[in-house]
Amino acid sequence: MRINKYIAQSGFCSRRKADEYILEKRVKVNGKIVDMLGFEVRVKDKVTIDDKLIRAEKLEYYKFYKPTGYITTKSDEKGRKTIYDLIPDELKHLNPVGRLDKDSSGLIILTNDGNLAFELTHPSIKAAKTYIVKVKGKLKKSELQQLNDGIEIEKDKIAYCDWAILEENKEETTFEIVLYQGLNRQIRKMFEFLGYNVVSLKRIRHANIELTGLKKGQIKPIKPRQIKELKKYLEKLRQN
């Protein structure tokens, strides 16, 4: 197995990050510094990064329905509730792919596959994330166009999205929003810029993985067939 794949399979980091560590001469195999990116690792080899032992693990993939009121982190200095308060002990070694803020709910993929997590969140790959978003009020046509064209939510950070209106009245509008970026609180900041408050925000899909079949706080393994389809989807995006 190529050493960058071995490191990614350990959950330590992505393949690209592993390549960086190799170039920085921080990776050793059997005590010797690795000096080539395509180095092949055998089953009995001892791999370390900064002298920390790395072991390839069985790759695991789960989907989790995050309720509102929880933050997406393993621990919190302020004592706030985290998603790991709801996740079984035997799965707490898994890492979330991306985040949802405390007031948002919906799908979070959990895995120890560092390479897959990297590709699902890297801005150059643009894996789609789909949300159901309810806002107070009814947007004007010019404001809807701004969502497509882009809004500067922070200095030099332009946020954009695809959208479709699902329901609309004078008091509220419900959208399906698709993001290809991963900016912090992106949807909320876009609507706040336009003068609208987000009432609720739920992620229902990340790439081809859907929230369907989960109850709030529930976690389930993702089927191997879906992971195979996901990797094909990401490969196509890389080629574009």
3-state SS class at 148: helix
List 51, 101, 103, 149, catalytic entry: 101
User: Is residue 101 annotated as part of the catalytic site, yes or no?
Assistant: yes
What contacts 24+ positions apart, CB below 8 Å, involve 192-199? 193/151, 193/152, 193/153, 194/139, 194/143, 194/146, 194/151, 196/135, 196/136, 196/137, 196/139, 197/135, 197/136, 198/133, 198/134, 198/135, 199/134, 199/135, 199/136, 199/172
Residues making up the chain, counted from first to last: 240
- Which positions are annotated as active-site residues? 101
